Amino acid sequence: MPDRDVLIIGAGFSGLYQLHKLRQLGFDAQIVEAGPQVGGTWYWNRYPGARCDIESIGYSYSFDHELQQEWNWSERYAAQPEILAYLEHVADRLDLRKDITFDTRVQSLVFDDADDCWTATTGNGSTISARFVVAATGCLSKPLTPTFDGLDDFTGDVHWTWDWPAGGADLAGKRVAVIGTGSSGVQTITAIAPVVGSMTVFQRTPTYAVPAQNRRIDEELAELKTHYDDFRAESRLSVGGFPCGDELPPFFEDLDDVRIRSELEVRYGNGGLCFQQSFRDLLQNEEANARAAEYVRNRISEKVDDPAVAEKLTPRTYPIAAKRMCVDTGYYEVYNQDNVALIDVNEQPIRRITPRGILAGDTEHEFDVIILATGFDAMTGALEAIDISHGAQTLRDKWSDGPRTYLGLMSAGFPNLFTVTGPQSPSVLSNMVTSIETHVEWISAALEYLHEHGLTRIEPDVAAEDNWVNTTNDAADMTLLGQAPSWYMGANVPGKPRAALPFVGGVGVYQQILDGVAVTGYHGFELV
Binding site for ligand N01 (CB under 6 A): 52-53, 140, 146, 179-185, 187, 204-205, 324, 327, 345, 373-376, 428, 487, 492
- Per-residue binder mask for ligand FAD (CB under 6 A), 22-41, x = binder: ----------xxxx----xx
Rounded to whole angstroms, the Cα distance separating 323 from 287 reads: 17
Q: CB-wise, 297 or 496, nearer to ligand FAD?
A: 496
Q: Which does 33 bind (CB under 5 to 8 A by kind): ligand N01, ligand FAD, none?
A: ligand FAD
* Residue nearer to ligand FAD on the CB measure, 59 or 148: 59
Which partner from the list ligand N01, ligand FAD, none does 278 bind, CB cut-off 5 to 8 Å by kind? Answer: none
Given a contact cutoff of 8 angstroms between Cβ atoms, the answer to whether 139 and 379 are in contact is yes
Q: What residue 206 binds from ligand N01, ligand FAD, none (CB within 5 to 8 A, per partner kind)?
A: none
What is the torsion angle, in degrees rounded to the nearest 10, for the CA atoms of residue 191, residue 192, residue 193 and residue 194?
90
8 binds ligand FAD (CB under 6 A): no
Task: Report the C-alpha gap between 460 and 221 in whole angstroms.
Answer: 42
Among ligand N01, ligand FAD, none, the one that 31 touches (CB under a kind-dependent 5 to 8 A) is none
**Greatest CA separation for the chain:** 70
Q: Which does 175 bind (CB under 5 to 8 A by kind): ligand N01, ligand FAD, none?
A: none
Vertex 358: Cα angle to 355 and 362 (nearest 5): 115
Q: From the list ligand N01, ligand FAD, none, which binds 260 (C-beta under 5 to 8 Å, kind-based)?
A: none
Pairing of strands 458-460, 525-527: antiparallel
- Collect all residues with Cβ–Cβ distance below 8 Å to 70 and sequence separation of at least 6: none
- Please report whether residue 185 would count as binding ligand FAD according to CB under 6 A: no
Listed in sequence order, the residues at least 6 apart from 26 whose beta carbon sits closer than 8 Å to its beta carbon are none
Of 131, 120, 141, the residue nearest 35 (C-alpha)? 141
Which one of 421, 472, 486, 492 is in contact with ligand FAD (CB under 6 A)? Answer: 421
Residues 6 or more apart in contact with residue 420 via CB below 8 angstroms? 14, 15, 18, 134, 135, 136, 436, 439, 440, 443
- Give 123 or 249: the residue with its C-beta nearer to ligand FAD: 123
Given the DSSP bridges, would you call strands 340-344 and 198-203 parallel, antiparallel or unpaired?
parallel
Q: Tell me if 420 contacts ligand FAD by CB under 6 A.
A: yes
Residue of the chain from 416, 431, 444, 486 that contacts ligand FAD (CB under 6 A): 431
Q: Which stretch binds ligand FAD (CB under 6 A): 46-54, 246-254, 366-374, 402-410?
A: 46-54
How is residue 322 annotated by DSSP? S
Which of ligand N01, ligand FAD, none does residue 358 bind to, with CB < 5 to 8 Å depending on kind? none
Q: Which does 325 bind (CB under 5 to 8 A by kind): ligand FAD, ligand N01, none?
A: none
| 369-408 footprint of ligand FAD as x/- string (CB under 6 A) | -------------x---x----------------------
Bridge partners, 326 (sequence order): 209
Distance of CA 213 to the CA centre of its chain: 21
Site residues for ligand FAD, 123-142, by CB under 6 A, read 136-141
Does position 432 interact with ligand FAD (CB under 6 A)? The reply is yes
Let me know: does 498 contact 481? Beta carbons within 8 Å: no
Q: Is 178 in the site for ligand FAD (CB under 6 A)?
A: no
User: What's the full length of the chain, in residues?
Assistant: 528
Binding of ligand FAD by 271 (CB under 6 A)? no
Report the phi/psi class of residue 206: left, alpha or beta, with left for phi > 0 and alpha for psi in -120 to 50: beta
Residue 106 contacts ligand FAD per CB under 6 A = yes
* Distance between CA atoms of residues 70 and 178, nearest Å: 39
Cα angle, residue 467 at apex, residues 451 and 118 outer, rounded to 5°: 35
119 binds, among ligand FAD, ligand N01, none (CB under 5 to 8 A by kind): none
List of residues contacting ligand FAD (CB under 6 A)? 9-15, 32-35, 40-41, 45, 50, 52-54, 59, 105-106, 136-141, 184, 382, 386, 420-421, 431-432, 436
